[in-house]
Amino acid sequence: MKNVTNNDPQVKLFAALVKVQDALNNPNKDQQGYGYKYTDLSTIIEQVKPVLKEHGLAVIQMPINNEQGRVGVKTMLVHEEGGSISEDYYPTPLNIPQNKEGKKSMNEAQADGAGITYARRYALSAFLNIASEEDTDAQSPRNNKPKTNTQKRTAPKQYTPSPTSASPKQITYIWTLVDEAGLDRDEFQKGVYLKNQIDSMKKLTATQASKIIDALNHKIEEKSETPDYGADYEAAKEIFNN
């Protein structure tokens, strides 16, 4: 068994990483997504790079492909005396939306670039134990647990749609537009839940559903008018709030 000493490069790397994480604070979340805020990659790099340098650390990130052809990012944290740790991350592939003429709003290279930017931000934040976006799960109504009491609890009433509830056709159409706009379904649903204080899409009102449909259509039309749409993955997830 190898004897680990204070001169071991890995020991020095982890000692430096402890100091870096102690010195870093969560960055300001100044970018607006659908129902949440986040920090863009350039802001994170600008904040962490001087602290990493001070402690003899550097980050290397490079695009990679797996056997299934998915594009991802390898992130390496290296110490000036030779220690290193690394991890691979493959984001969910971006569904490239099309306009009414069937023309894609971005080409394959742009979509890969968007996914790489997204993966770099998430991986770098995870390595350095900083939060680059709001924890919308913690704010979700699903996580607001009722207070415990000693009274006998009755079974919850089954949800019954009201006359003003969104119709099944509206919900189905929303998901069709989400896919057409190239949005991540989980992230989109999370934003809808948070914005409307609900825990199920079927609890949307007809008015809320109509606003979401209008916003999605607006975003799809906007994308079709700007084929050179940027490479930031978060921009691919945004729609206008009405």
Mean pLDDT, residues 214-236 taken together: 61
C-alpha distances out from residue 226 to 15, 87, 103, 234, Å: 48, 35, 11, 16
Mean pLDDT, residues 216-233 taken together: 62
Q: For the chain, where are the alpha helices, taking DSSP H only?
A: 9-23, 41-54, 108-128, 136-139, 168-180, 185-196, 206-225, 233-237
Distance CA(146)–CA(158), nearest Å, equals 18
Tell me the backbone φ, ψ of residue 144, rounded to 5 degrees: -85, 90
Model confidence pLDDT, tens digit, residues 118-173: 889 889 988 898 876 665 544 444 344 444 444 555 554 444 445 588 888 888 88
Whole-number pLDDT of residue 85: 94
Cα of 22 vs its chain's centroid, Å: 24
Helix/strand number for the chain, H first, E second: 8, 5
Whole-number pLDDT of residue 53: 96
Q: Is the pLDDT of residue 232 over 80?
A: no
Q: Is the pLDDT of residue 235 over 60?
A: no
CA 210, 201, 177, 110 torsion: positive or negative? Answer: positive
Four-point Cα dihedral 99, 104, 110, 114, nearest 10: 50
Question: Judging by DSSP bridges, how do beta strands 31-32 and 37-38 pair with one another?
Answer: antiparallel
Q: Is the pLDDT of residue 182 over 90?
A: no
Element of type H or E holding 76:
strand 71-79
Distance CA(166)–CA(113), nearest Å, equals 37
Q: Report all structural domains of the chain as residue ranges with CATH numbers, in order of start.
A: 9-128 (3.30.390), 162-237 (no CATH)
